[in-house]
Amino acid sequence: MQIDEAHAFQLLKPAMYKILRAMLGKTKVLFIDEISLVSALLFAQTSANIQMALGSQKPFGGLSVVLFGDLLQLSPVNGNPIYEEVSERFSIARITRAPCVTYRLWDLFKMFRLFENVRTDDEAEARMLMEVREERISEETENFFKRHFVIRNSTDAGIFDEVDLLRRLYPEKEIAILAVRNIVVNRMNEVKINRMEGVQQIRWTSAYYLYCQRMTDFYVTLVSNAHSDSTISNFQSTLPSTLRFNRPYEVALSSIIYPNSQDLISNNMEADGRYENEFTVVFNNKKVKCKVQNCSFLTPSQLVEILNYTYQKKVKTTTNSMDKEKDLFTYKPLFHSVTIENLKHVTQVELSDR
């Protein structure tokens, strides 16, 4: 997150200083790891908050501080590295809000270099790692990487195939996959789970209502042997050996969806008196009832298109608005769920049980 002048060296709430004081009351030494990721501003703000909590003018409230890390590895996402001065644009904020902070904290530290490479005992590997660390890759190392570490298939499944190959080639090594975003992690976990033998996958899905904190219903989607030629006579799905619930639930089979089948939206009345094809939206404090025409859909994406079309058409007619309203419903393929977007003019959405 980018920090601007208005938020730099902001004082914490009194309750936070109280908590910090209780946590550090008996602390003598503060250890900070991965120091290359810490910016000069974050470092100074940390010292300021500890000083305020402990009521001390000394850097870090008089605590001894030990830093660990490799300054040639990842640098701070935002801001100057820890060994540089805090940017001049934060000078006024520092002077007015945290005058107790030492101008250049890095000068207070003494550096100890570690020369033993504990990552590998192989001299060639150690040399290549050092070249990468210092950004001076030789032609020999570059050719080695191209031969051994270029992924031929960069799809999710292809990456796992590459990992399996590396494990066969180097059985003595630990192979890990690093992903920069949670969505990639979730997608690759899905691939890995689907490859496991004898594992029944369960997906938990729910409908998201605005301002609704808890759900009373949930659905378990079970993978089956269903395919395009399936009929009700050969359909099979195996439940996991154990399903644990944290409270009593009524358990029932909701529906069986066959591949290439159509799901219908009809005007049947439900037990609570509402209709299956209706949903209500509170738009600009006005209750708007949206009614879906009798239709069918093959995929969740088609259902979302139908719902958004119905919502936009009804809102436009009811409010005489000429502006195209944003989509209210979104389908999340990764989680197999339809979610409701948080729109400016919409404060509540009521859906039928269907």
pLDDT of residue 38: 92
Distances (CA, A) of 214 to 54, 208, 211, 336: 40, 9, 9, 19
Q: What is the pLDDT along the chain (354 residues), one digit of tens a residue?
A: 556 667 788 888 888 888 888 888 889 999 999 999 999 999 999 999 999 889 888 999 999 999 999 998 888 888 889 998 888 888 788 777 777 787 789 999 999 988 888 888 888 888 998 998 888 899 999 888 887 777 777 787 888 888 888 888 888 888 888 887 778 888 888 787 777 765 554 444 333 333 333 445 555 555 555 555 555 555 566 665 566 666 666 666 655 555 444 455 666 666 666 777 888 888 888 888 888 876 666 677 888 888 888 888 888 887 766 556 678 888 877 666 778 888 878 888 887 655
C-alpha–C-alpha distance, residues 291 and 265, integer Å: 10
- Residue of 112, 31, 35 whose CA lies nearest to 75: 35
**Pair type for strands 329-332 and 202-205:** unpaired
pLDDT of residue 211: 33
Is residue 52 within 8 A of residue 12, CB to CB? The reply is yes
pLDDT of residue 14: 85
- The DSSP-derived string for 80-146 is -BTTSPPPGGGHHHHHHH-TTS-S-GGGG----------S-S-HHHHHHHHHHHTT---HHHHHHHH
DSSP state of 214: -
C-alpha–C-alpha distance, residues 83 and 70, integer Å: 12
C-alpha–C-alpha distance, residues 114 and 281, integer Å: 63
- Residue of 319, 330, 327 whose CA lies nearest to 343: 327
C-alpha–C-alpha distance, residues 52 and 36, integer Å: 25
Question: At residue 298, what is the residue type?
Answer: L
C-alpha–C-alpha distance, residues 38 and 105, integer Å: 13
pLDDT of residue 212: 35
Question: How many Cβ atoms from other residues are within 10 Å of residue 61's Cβ?
Answer: 22
pTM flag (> 0.75): no
pLDDT of residue 322: 54
- Residue of 136, 135, 137 whose CA lies nearest to 145: 137
